[in-house]
Each structure stands twice: as C-alpha cells, then as structure tokens.
Structure 1
C-alpha cells in the first residue's frame, strides 16, 4: 500500500510539473485566441489521446447516475475551471495566477475535512501553508509588479478556478473507487468538450478560424497533449492517495513556471527561487507524512 501511494504521489508530482508548463504555454497564446476556444482545443486534443479508453468504456457498466455525476465533474473541472483560469490570465500575469492557484490544496484540505473525507491536522495544515509561502518566495518581486485594470477581477477568476478544482478533487474519490481510471477520464473530458463547444463557437472558433503562427499551434498542441496525459495521472493519483496529498503537488506548477522562465526566457535565477523551492519541498514532506485520509 505504501508503495502504491508513493507511485500515486509521483504521478501527482508529474501532473504539478505539467500544469506549470501548460500555464506558461497558455500565457503565450491566450491573447491570440479566446479563453473558451483555447479550453475547447485543449481538451478536444486531450480526448483524442484518450480515444482507446473511450471505446473501452463501453465495456464498463456505469450506473446512469454515476456517469452523470462524472460528466458534470468533468464539465466543472475542465470546462468551467479552465475557462475561468484562461479568462483570469487576460487580466493578471501568469506569475500571480500561479500563486493564487497554489491555494488549490488549502481549499481541498478544508473541503475534504468538512465532508469527513480527511483528518485535518496541524502538521498537514502547516505543510500546505508552507508550500504556498514557498511559491510566494519563489515568485518574489514579480508579484508586486503593477498590472493593467481588471487586476482584482483576474484574481477572483483564478481563485474561482482553484475552488472548482478543489471541489472536484474531493468529489471524484468515490467514483474512482468504483470504476477504472481511464474511462472516467475519457467521459469527463468528453463532457467538457461538448460543454465548451457553445462558448467557443460564440467566440468565432468555428466560423472565423484561428490565426496562429507555428509557435502558437505548437503551444496549443503541447497544452492539449500534456493535459490528456496529465489528467489520467491525476485521476490515478486521486484513486490511490488522499485529495490533499495529491493536490498539494500543484505547488510544483509555479516553481516549474519560474524555472522555465529562467531556461526559455533567460529570466534571472534568484535566491528567492531557490528558497521557494526549498519551502515547497519542505511543505510537501510535511503533508505526505501525515495520517491517511478517512475512507
């Protein structure tokens, strides 16, 4: 069991890195394409990665009510969450968005404890807070740079996106214990693509076309392909570890974004990034050594 949980936390860590990389790529194209259109393309590409599981899901007998809940969770996590996040990135920098989105684990911990799904301990809470502080230290002075009008609106949109993800992370667990991971992921993503079709169409995706250069298309393809793989890993991690332990690894996403900034954009590697990384790692250690979730 400990080995299985360790593998689950490794999958969660991989997802945290993927989210950070996708956030950087999103920032590159979000002003060239509408937020709903980008979300639609993101998960349409991801669904194509999961075509075999979609066909395999025909062999899995979902209770009608369970399938409906899974699809609603998919719409919230992939449709509503990503649309809110992409819209928020139009008003605030990816750096600030990453820090705000890092509150995801804290929201998850509070919701899971409120529903009796996990034990809320001081050590776990301290670990979650330490990861958020680590993220803040890593992002450093970029957080105090002034942005354009709509800054508060952008912050609220990103926080709302984090709340959507936290709720879904807790509510997925019962269904992951009943059904295989891949069919759940395929149905959830498919539901989100169908949901996002309407707002994407309203933005002119299907009539006006896209005017992206090669780099833009590569960014979109990367976001979609990595999201498909990342979500399967995410669900598998939630199946075998508590929601807080899994979601706390999202603190790796802004660290990843910062390190990618150093590598790709030649941004300075400051002592704050190093100290922030140490803080995040320490926080992860505290959270993952705590009492398992209630079953």
Structure 2
C-alpha cells in the first residue's frame, strides 16, 4: 500500500529538477555517440557501454541492494527482452551512421506509441481513450512528415537514400524499445527487481552488438581522452546511474507525468545536435518534432492509470 501511495504523488520542485537533469543526460547521449563516430563506430560504442554497464548493474544488485532475482526467467523472459533491446541498439548504432542525433532521438521516442497501441489490443484495462487516439494520429503525422520531407541534410540520390535508411533504422529502434516495454508488462518480469530486467537488456545489447562489430571489422578505437570520457559518460552516467535515479523517481512520483517529462530528451537532443554538431533544424524537421512530441504528451498525460513498470528512456 505504501508503494501505491508513492506512485500517485505529483511532481514537486525537486522531482521536476531531477527530471530536467535526466532529460539533459539522456538527450546528450545520442549527440555523444554521433560526435565520436569518427573515432569509434556507434555500434562499437554500444557494445562497449552495454558490456560495462551490465557488469555494474549486476554488481550493484548483488552486492549493494542484495536483490532476490526471480528464478526461471533467463531463458524465456530474459532472453526475449535482451534480444529486443539488443536489436534496438543494433538499429541505433547503424542508424547513427547515416542520420543526425536529433532525428535519431525523435524517432526513437515513438516507442510509447507502439506500447499504447499494443497494450490496447491485448489488455482491456489498457484501452485508449478518444484523446489518446488523437495523440497517436498526431505523432504518426509527424513520422510521415519525416519520411516525406526531402533529404536536406544530404545531397544527391545516394544521400537521400542513406537518410531514409537511417530514419527507418531509428523508427525500428523505437518499435523494438516499445516491444521491450510490452514484453515486461505482459510477463513475470513485471514483478522482478528492476536491476534484473535492466541487466537482461544490457547483456542482450552487448551480445547482439559484438558479433556484428567483429563481423564488419569496425573495431577501430582511434580516440584519445575525449572518447574515453564520453565512453565513461555513456556507461556509468547514462546506462547505470541515470537509470537508477529513474527507477527511484518511479517509486515516488506519478509515472505518467514522469513519462511525459522524459519526452524533453529528444527535444534536448535536437537542440544539442544543432548547437554542438551543426545538425540542420529544417522547417520539416521542426514540424515533425512538434507533432510527435505533442502527440506523445497527449497519449501519456491523458492516461490516468499507472503502469506497474516503465523502462528507462533511451
């Protein structure tokens, strides 16, 4: 009962400040990966950070929290969410080779749409309201704008084709993230310690990324201190510390409000990408971003039911 009371607590000033900080952390991670793409392939960065953070989460759960992990989940539920997470970040790593960090983040955050529609079709208590369907249509319209707009960031037919391929990878990554959430919602992982679920995801990311990196021969690590610092940032700050803070917030504040606030992350990513990497903010991209974020906020804020588990934003 105590946990239920914490879940319906509205956001206060402290929660708002912490969430803004988390959104900045999450928004910068795609920018960091793109910035270091010349020194280390994005998929190699995924492999390294997933491996390191999986070890950190396991050690934290075992030696600090002393969680009692649910038995019998590894080869079914654990394998499923691990594979979905791994494929998601395969698409992220490959997509970042061709599109900017802002576009990647915006399309990645279509995940809540896939969650909402999937749960609407499978669970009676998760039925969408009319306003939520309007939100889904708004976000879908934003996706259409992205795929119909010309390739302003790249020149020529080959550039436009690469931009389209990268955008499709980003959208598929969002789909896989959404299906990860659905898998947790519909399986016994919904009652498992959050560190157990997070460990399965991170381990799956590493196991999926490393074979592709090795097969493609993209193992070059040409960066210096800046690459190591950004790797530390992605591994320790993003995939470990920020996710622990996220789950701490979920124990204390209204999950739908936290989820809606997390949508600031792709907005920050687009702004940081433009400021630091000079990624173009074209009218078409800005229109698509506004439609997608407005639609997602509509879906999440009009859902008064609390989800038993929200996975950490990407």
TM-score range, shorter chain: 0.7 to 0.9
1:123 aligns with 2:131: yes
Residues 1:21 and 2:28 aligned together: yes
Instruction: Assess, with a 3 A threshold, how the Cα gap between structure 1 residues 239 and 156 changes in structure 2: closer, same or farther.
Output: farther
Give the distance between the partners of 1:41 and 1:101, measured in 2 at CA.
21
- Displacement of 1:83: 1.5
TM-score, normalization by structure 1: 0.75
- The alpha-carbon deviation at position 40 of structure 1 amounts to 0.8
| Counterpart in the other structure of 1:113 | 120
Change (3 A) 1:264 1:209: closer
Higher alpha-carbon deviation: 79-88 or 10-19:
10-19
Give unmatched runs, 5+ long, in structure 2: 309-314
**CA spacing shift, 1:199–1:94, aligned 2, 3 Å:** same
Among 43, 53, 75, the alignment partner of 1:36 is 43
Distance 1:278 1:91, change over 3 A: closer
2:264 aligns with 252
Specify whether residues 104 and 293 from structure 1 end up closer, same or farther in structure 2 by C-alpha distance, changes over 3 A only. Answer: same
Contact 1:111 1:170 in 2 (8 A): yes
1:167 and 2:174 matched: no
Q: Which stretch of the first structure deviates more once superposed, 222-231 or 124-133?
A: 124-133
In the alignment, the residues of structure 2 paired with residue 32 and residue 26 of structure 1 have an alpha-carbon distance, to the nearest angstrom, of: 10
- Asked whether the 8 Å contact 1:43–1:193 carries over to 2, the reply is yes
Contact 1:89 1:154 in 2 (8 A): yes
2:191 pairs with 1:178:
yes
Q: How many residues align?
A: 288
Deviation string, structure 1 residues 160-207 (Cα, Å, up to 9, x no partner): 1111000111211243442211232224323432343322333447xx
Alpha-carbon distance, 1:62 to partner? 2.2
Q: Deviations over 1:74-111 (max 9, x none)?
A: 2321x211121110111222232233223222122111
Distance 1:260 1:80, change over 3 A: same
Backbone CA RMSD of aligned residues:
4.3
Identify the residue that residue 84 of structure 2 maps to in structure 1: 76
Q: Per-residue deviation at 1:69?
A: 1.1
